[in-house]
Amino acid sequence: MLEFVVVAEAEADARLVCDLADRIFLEESPDWIDEALLLNLRNWSGFDHPTYTRWPAIKAAMREHHTRPHYLGYVQGKPQGAACAESRKAILLAIERQKSRKIDALILAKDIDSQPERREGMRQARDEKQGEMVVVIATPNPKREAWVLNGFVCNGADEEQKLSRICQQLSFNPCEEAHRLRYSSRTSRLDRDPKRILGDLTNQNSEREERCWKETALSILQSRGQQTHLEEFLAEVRVRLLPLLIK
């Protein structure tokens, strides 16, 4: 069984990236792989948790396993920012844990949160250890909710009316241009808060939210997710994880 370790900011983020990857595995792998078989082919986990590891827990895990990253002022010729440093720690921990545990790939998930340098930093860390660990990067722009909104397709007149009203307020469609959503505590622009908009459209119903990424066609998710980085994440799953599953 393949072991995929996930590092994310919260359980909801981990569940989202795992479910999306599973869709690629089921819809784009050979016909003989079905949901029942997939459960025996891959396992999602954390370093010391059955499902995922939170970013703040990486530092403690490194101490526990006596892994010490050497500080680098520059990585791949570029200054090492906070996201690069955090990602390096997770990757180094995974490489160290491979000595006593099977880890086939590492998935690093972190919201952009109006900090595009996070994405570049995570890539820097991965490039440094290219060949030592398979790493997939998920960077929802601006937040996880943007990826969920990318998959929101109206079901019935009530949802159509809600979406139409929100589109009028924003002057754009938040499902097709979710990357334009922002919430700043300094300006209190609640009208562009992706969490609020998603909550309005789904009535705060978690099952309705899940349908956005579990049932909406991958082609729609890719088309709408070009600037939220969802398209890029799906492509990374295809290139980096799917071959491990079907080889």
Which letter, b or e, does each residue of 167-181 get, where b requires 16 or more Cβ atoms within 10 Å of its Cβ? Answer: eeeeeebbbbbbbbb
Burial of residue 83, with CB atoms counted within 10 A of its CB: 0-12 exposed, 13-18 middle, 19 or more buried: buried
Angle at 52 between CA 76 and CA 57, to 5 degrees: 65
> Which position has the token pair 């909550």?
199
Query: Do 186 and 79 sit in the same domain of this protein?
Result: no
Count of domains forming the chain? 2
For residues 169 and 51, membership in a common domain is answered with: no
pLDDT over 80 at 67, yes or no? no
In the predicted structure, residue 185 carries a pLDDT above the cut 60: no
Give domain status of residue 103, yes or no: yes
Which range marks the domain in which residue 196 is found? 151-211
> Which residues, in sequence order, are bridge partners of residue 43?
3
Same-domain check for residues 53 and 125: yes
pLDDT of residue 187: 46
pLDDT of residue 82: 83
Count Cβ atoms within 10 A of the Cβ of residue 10 and give its class: 0-12 exposed, 13-18 middle, 19 or more buried. middle
The H-assigned helical ranges of the chain are 11-28, 35-38, 57-64, 82-97, 117-128, 144-150, 157-170, 194-202, 206-214, 218-224, 230-236, 242-246
- Position 218 in a domain: no
The pLDDT value recorded for residue 63 is: 78
Question: How would residue 247 be classed by pLDDT, with cut points 50, 70 and 90?
Answer: confident
* Mean pLDDT, residues 127-144: 94
32 or 79, higher pLDDT? 32
Residues 6+ apart with CB under 8 A from 206: none
In this predicted structure, what is the pLDDT of residue 114? 86
